[in-house]
Structure 1
Amino acid sequence: MSKSAMIRARMEPDLKEEAEQVLAKVGLSPTEAIRLFYRQISLRGGLPFEVRLPNAATRAAIAEARSGKKLKSFKTAADVMRTARA
């Protein structure tokens, strides 16, 4: 089949540059990545990933991370779980 259909999209220049750097690292051109994305939509009958709004805990964590204050860190996953249960 001839590849003659065109897609045009506007986006933030920084987002475009960041994404294209990642694509280059995995050896894909933007066109190949879009083709892959569309192929997956076609095969799955929808987006190839879950799209949903973050829950309240996730929204709070995002807001805290964006606030600029120092975040708590942990040495092990067990430390995280102990803190989460407390």
Structure 2
Amino acid sequence: MAKTEVYQIRLDSEEKKQAFAVFKQLGLTPAQAIRMFFRQVVLTQSIPFNIENKATFTPIPERENVPEENHQDLFLELDQILNSKQQ
């Protein structure tokens, strides 16, 4: 069996609730859905969906040397992209 690890993330409460409801409708646990996402990232070597507004998003490989404590900036940038799409 492959070695497994635990990874924590912060989620918007309402988005988490809505996403978990979708997973339940699909017969998936949240953990299964996340593992499916990661599997697709590995298989396709990309995000398995289109990210619109690419002009403001800098791919992570260009930021490989950013200390881990600064990765919060990456998530803030992604949140801004996703939130601008909803407006």
The equivalent of 1:33 in structure 2 is 33
d(CA) in 2 for partners of 1:9, 1:21: 18
The secondary structure found in structure 1 opposite 2:32 is helix
For residues 13-52 of structure 1, the aligned pairs below 5 Å read 13-52=13-52
Of structures 1 and 2, the one with the larger relative CO (CA 8 A, separation 6+) is 2
Q: Looking at secondary structure, tell me which structure has more helix per residue.
A: 2
The secondary structure found in structure 2 opposite 1:7 is coil
Task: Output the TM-score relative to the length of structure 2.
Answer: 0.58
Q: Which has the larger radius of gyration?
A: 1
Aligned residues: 56
The equivalent of 1:57 in structure 2 is none
Q: CA deviation at 1:52?
A: 1.9
Distance 1:3 1:17, change over 3 A: farther
Structure 2 residues not aligned, in runs of 5+: 55-85
d(CA) in 1 for partners of 2:5, 2:18: 25
Structure 1 stretches of 4+ with a deviation exceeding 4 A read none
Task: Output the TM-score relative to the length of structure 1.
Answer: 0.58
Structure 1 residues not aligned, in runs of 5+: 55-61, 64-86
Q: CA deviation at 1:53?
A: 1.2
d(CA) in 2 for partners of 1:13, 1:3: 30
For residues 2-81 of structure 1, the aligned pairs below 5 Å read 2-53=2-53
